[in-house]
Amino acid sequence: MSKSALHAVRTKNAPTTEMDTEPRRRWLTEAEVETIISHADSERDRLMILMAYRHGFRVSELIGLTWRQVDLDAARLRVIRAKGSEDGVHPLSGREIRALRNLWRRQAVGAPWVFVTSRRGPMTRNGADCSTGVGGSTAGHSTNATRPRVPNSRRRPRNIEIEPG
């Protein structure tokens, strides 16, 4: 085939592709978090999602939370950060206090961890992932859809990261 024949064939306009110029949102809104919380299986799971959202917990910080860090009377939470981040004291909302008191009443006396399994042991990372929707279809999110997860780093506090399916 000659060069002129190739040129004649290529004279049609190339298909245009419209680029998505808006940056993809990586954080859930408060309304979306409330929807996820309303679909959680148990009171413990709802509290885990709420506290991860409000305090920007990593999974390891969330499952390592102990009752010694919680002061319900003063409405304060002593946050011990992982990976060299700064520790701090966070205020607890009334909703969190009520949920924590309810959880504390239902736990065995002397349990050191806030979030325990049904076998009264400490919550594991895998258990937290399943409870908060990372490992399956919790809260109505299929494994192929965008699903919420507890942030594994404190990039922006008070938010839960969106992980593409």
Structure tokens at 50: 């709420």
**Residue 164 belongs to some domain of the structure:** no
The letter for the amino acid at 149 is R
> Poorest-confidence range of 64-73, 79-88, 95-104?
79-88
**Residue 153 belongs to some domain of the structure:** no
Mean pLDDT for the stretch of residues 100-128: 84
Domain encompassing residue 103: 26-142
Domain count, the chain: 1
**What CATH number has the domain bearing residue 88?**
1.10.443.10
Secondary structure of 49-87 in HEC code, one letter for each residue: HHHHHHHCCCHHHHHCCEHHHEECCCCEEEECCCCCCCC
pLDDT of residue 34: 94
* 13-57 pLDDT per residue, tens: 766 667 667 777 788 889 999 999 999 988 999 999 999 999 999
pLDDT of residue 135: 46
Structure tokens at 106: 């239902």
**Residue 9 belongs to some domain of the structure:** no
Q: Of residues 46 and 141, which shows the higher confidence score?
A: 46
Give 89's strand partners: 78
**How many angstroms separate the CA atoms of 74 and 76, rounded?**
5
CA triplet 33, 104, 96: central angle to 5 degrees?
30
pLDDT at 96 over 80: yes
pLDDT of residue 2: 60
Arithmetic mean of pLDDT over the chain? 77
**How many angstroms separate the CA atoms of 139 and 46, rounded?**
10
**Residue 137 belongs to some domain of the structure:** yes
**Residue 158 belongs to some domain of the structure:** no
**How many angstroms separate the CA atoms of 15 and 13, rounded?**
6
Task: Provide the residue count of the chain.
Answer: 165
Task: Calculate what percentage of the chain has a pLDDT beyond 70.
Answer: 65
pLDDT of residue 147: 47
**How many angstroms separate the CA atoms of 5 and 27, rounded?**
53
**Residue 11 belongs to some domain of the structure:** no
Q: Are the C-beta atoms of 65 and 114 separated by less than 8 Å?
A: yes
**How many angstroms separate the CA atoms of 67 and 111, rounded?**
8
